[in-house]
């Protein structure tokens, strides 16, 4: 319980940092959001009235206090452009982003964990050096390529060249294939590398040698003795993966014209729609922090001694 309380206290402090950073970052963007929303032909009186209506004529510290008090009451403000409540904008867009994350994360784990364990079994004790080198080279290239380049390449190959899949939008199951692939490809390369290294470490442990001496079947050996002991490090990366899948959706959604919060935050920053951009940035921060503390607690349950030492 002391461990959980300490983590929750850190979460509260981190959330305050995220709230402050999101407010400051958006307000440091040059330009007048009201002028951008009303257009260059709007009179100075109309612009001033709109600024007063939105509270943008107040000192910055007063705006920040109003923003904080609004958050405590569940209010994220109103869009300068569309006049919609920000929480309604997020509620409309968030399900599409969560759908991508909910598909990409399980697919990543279902591909990466078996692949990493198979590669470890195949390359144990220096065997099949060609397989090891091919995997290291291919995964290294995937990890080195930026996510937006992967996404654009998928569009060019599968949508433009071969015309097998739609290039963007959200109309039917086929439109999920390319964005989910773009989100999952890099994490599969990363986690399979990690799982391979962890599996090789576990295969060198004494209890695995004893299990092999008992002539256990390979399936039982890997599922009951090897897999559970590779999950601690894998769980850490999986938590980062989940947070990264939500945050990485900003790039992927814009490439594939996906109607999620990622594409909306870019539009909001471009249009200087402060309240919407603040709300979405805050959402990303809350998701990442919550996932991180959740992973810490799960790791504490899986291996209490290591977490006590870390804390």
CA-to-CA dists, residue 10 to 150, 214, 287, angstroms: 36, 47, 15
Phi, psi torsion values for 85, nearest 5 degrees:
-60, 140
CA-to-CA dists, residue 178 to 181, 216, 230, 249, 250, angstroms: 5, 41, 30, 12, 15
Instruction: Sketch out the chain's domains with CATH numbers.
Output: 94-274 (1.10.3720.10)
List, as own/partner pairs, every contact residues 138-146 make where C-beta atoms lie below 8 angstroms and the sequence separation is at least 24, other chains included: 138/189, 139/189, 139/190, 139/192, 139/193, 140/189, 142/185, 142/186, 142/189, 143/186, 143/189, 143/190
Q: For position 180, what pLDDT does the model report?
A: 92
Q: Where do runs of H (alpha helix) occur along the chain?
A: 2-27, 33-38, 44-54, 60-72, 86-123, 129-144, 147-154, 177-203, 206-213, 218-220, 227-255, 261-270, 274-302, 304-310
- Using 50 as the pLDDT threshold, list the residues of the chain that sit under it: 307-311
Q: For position 250, what pLDDT does the model report?
A: 83
Residues 299, 288: Cα–Cα separation, whole Å? 17
Q: For position 221, what pLDDT does the model report?
A: 77
Q: For position 245, what pLDDT does the model report?
A: 67
Q: For position 303, what pLDDT does the model report?
A: 60
Neighbouring residues of 129: CB distance < 8 A, sequence distance ≥ 6: 123
């Amino acid at each position: 319980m002391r461990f959980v309380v300490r983590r929750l206290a850190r979460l509260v402090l981190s959330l305050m940092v995220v709230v402050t950073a999101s407010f400051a970052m958006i307000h440091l963007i040059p330009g007048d959001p009201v002028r951008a929303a009303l257009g260059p032909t709007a009179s100075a009186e109309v612009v001033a009235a709109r600024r007063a209506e939105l509270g943008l004529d107040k000192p910055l510290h007063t705006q920040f206090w109003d923003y904080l008090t609004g958050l405590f009451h569940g209010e994220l403000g109103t869009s300068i452009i569309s006049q919609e409540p920000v929480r309604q904008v997020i509620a409309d867009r968030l399900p599409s982003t969560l759908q991508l994350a909910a598909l990409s994360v399980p697919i990543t784990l279902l591909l990466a964990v078996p692949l990493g364990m198979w590669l470890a079994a195949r390359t144990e004790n220096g065997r099949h050096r060609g397989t090891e080198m091919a995997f290291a080279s291919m995964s290294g290239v995937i990890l080195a390529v930026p996510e937006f380049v992967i996404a654009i390449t998928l569009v060019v190959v599968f949508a433009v060249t071969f015309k097998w899949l739609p290039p963007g939008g959200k109309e039917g199951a086929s439109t999920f294939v390319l964005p989910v692939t773009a989100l999952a490809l890099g994490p599969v390369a990363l986690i399979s590398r990690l799982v391979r290294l962890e599996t090789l470490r576990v295969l060198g442990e004494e209890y695995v040698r004893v299990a092999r001496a008992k002539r256990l079947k390979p399936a039982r050996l890997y599922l009951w003795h090897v897999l559970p002991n590779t999950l601690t490090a894998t769980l850490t990366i999986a938590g980062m993966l989940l947070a990264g899948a939500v945050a990485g959706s900003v790039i992927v959604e814009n490439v594939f014209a996906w109607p999620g919060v990622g594409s909306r935050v870019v539009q909001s920053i471009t249009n200087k729609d402060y309240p919407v951009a603040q709300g979405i940035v805050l959402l990303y921060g809350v998701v990442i922090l919550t996932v991180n503390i959740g992973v810490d607690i799960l790791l504490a349950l899986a291996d209490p001694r290591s977490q006590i030492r870390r804390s």
